[in-house]
Structure 1
Amino acid sequence: MKELPDKLEQYILDHIDEEPEYLQKLSRDTFANMLYPQMLSGHLQGRLLKMLCRMINPERILEIGTFTGYSALCMAEALPEKGTIDTIEINDELETFIREHFSATASGSKINLIIGDALKVIPELPGTWDLAFIDGNKRYYPEYYNLIFDRIKTGGYIIADNVLWSGKVVEPADPRDTQTKGILEFNNLIAADKRVEKVIFPVRDGFTVIRKL
């Protein structure tokens, strides 16, 4: 998938809300210390997540795939006083890093970090959610969707990241590529689901916003 020219991308960043200092630090620390730092949501997507949360006004959010916590902190900025986020990260080696950055911000207190496999953790969590953000293992996107759908309130939202998967969704399929296979199955599942409204935004690696009817 063709990326924006650097000058145009910088123009966009110069004309949206600034990235808070604590997120700038989180981004620097991620790029300095982590493999695959490009998995971080980043400035533009982070401000978009915050804006969507302002519009949706959720009280309870589920996030599948924390990575280093950037997206969770962006959504937490928009939560009401008693709002909470349950965020699930399978890589236990990231836990100390994530908790240090959460504890350094006021909004981090609204985030409940859970280390484990989302497919096993979610059935153990209580209640329902107003919004879910799916950004975990791409091969399991259909399973995540089916697992959480009944736990999303009517009128609630599901947002899925990486749905264009670097343009691989329109290239000849490699049967060995289970990540792309999961994204393709997920996109087809959403397209055919009459229980929801949906739209794909070509922001970064693709961003689907789904509203449960």
Structure 2
Amino acid sequence: MSFFEEKNPEMDRYLENHASSEPEILKKLRKETYQKTTQPHMISGYQQGRLLTIISQMMKPQNILEIGTFTGYATLCLAAGLAENGKITTLDVNEDLAYLPKKYFAESGHSSKIDFKIQDAKEFLKETDQFFDLVFIDADKENYAEYFRLIKPHTKSGSVVMFDNVLWYGKVLEENPKQKSTQVIKELNDLIAKDDDFENLILPLRDGVNFLRRK
């Protein structure tokens, strides 16, 4: 649950009731995530999922990178807009949970386009020579600033990058936060705002999405 859902749940329900319907496979995945995981709130929400799908469908990206697979909800949303021969690489380090996204990737119509890796994202970004049209990061917050630094060399003009949870339940308004994750998210937002190679906007959707486009 996000900071905004806690503040105004009625508005959140209104927004969901006036958005495109959720595909059946995503409904099933969301239900099973709540049944079988200890932190189901980590799943990309219905509204956010619709945003990811629409952006991907508008861009028709050839190459997508996702950092933080969890149960694969956002992966499937992003994969829906891939170009005909496109690919999404999705990274996570939780081997114990890997069976769940693998199950739904296999059931989806996008299985051949999804490259699911159990690998540290920093390691992957240091090793790969790929460029990405679309990047979505929803992973360990204490590495957010480092992810931004490592991702930038793998973007080109027109690339879109999205960081989730950048309002961090409103904690970014704290002047001197003690929590490491809050400190790093504030650092990330500052880095992005000062980087002349990107234009950006923080969307107050759920817990905040920093939406960047490489100039």
TM-score class normalised by the smaller sequence: over 0.9
Closer, same or farther: CA 2–209 of 1 in aligned 2, 3 Å: closer
Taking structure 2 as the reference length, the TM-score comes to 0.94
For residue 182 of structure 2, what is the aligned residue in structure 1?
180
Q: Structure 1 residue runs of 4+, over 3 Å off?
A: none
1:133 aligns with 2:139: no
For residue 212 of structure 1, what is the aligned residue in structure 2?
214
Q: Which amino acid aligns with 1:54?
A: Q
Helix, strand or coil at the partner of 2:96 = helix
For residue 11 of structure 1, what is the aligned residue in structure 2?
14
Helix, strand or coil at the partner of 2:105 = helix
For residue 193 of structure 1, what is the aligned residue in structure 2?
195
Contact 1:162/1:206, CA 8 A, preserved across alignment = yes
Deviations 1:156-209 (A, max 9, x none): 11111100000000024333x111111111011001111110001000000111
Helix, strand or coil at the partner of 1:210 = strand
Closer, same or farther: CA 159–204 of 1 in aligned 2, 3 Å: same
Aligned residue among 73, 76, 82 for 1:73: 76
Helix, strand or coil at the partner of 2:205 = coil
Taking structure 1 as the reference length, the TM-score comes to 0.95
Alignment of 1:1-213 (within 5 A): 1-3=3-5, 5-175=8-178, 177-213=179-215
Seq. identity, %: 41
1:9, 1:202 → 2: CA distance?
Answer: 12
Displacement of 1:143 after TM fit?
Answer: 0.6
Contact 1:76/1:108, CA 8 A, preserved across alignment = no
Contact 2:166/2:207, CA 8 A, preserved across alignment = yes
Which structure 1 residue ranges, 5 or more long, are not aligned? none
Contact 2:166/2:185, CA 8 A, preserved across alignment = yes
* Count of aligned pairs: 212
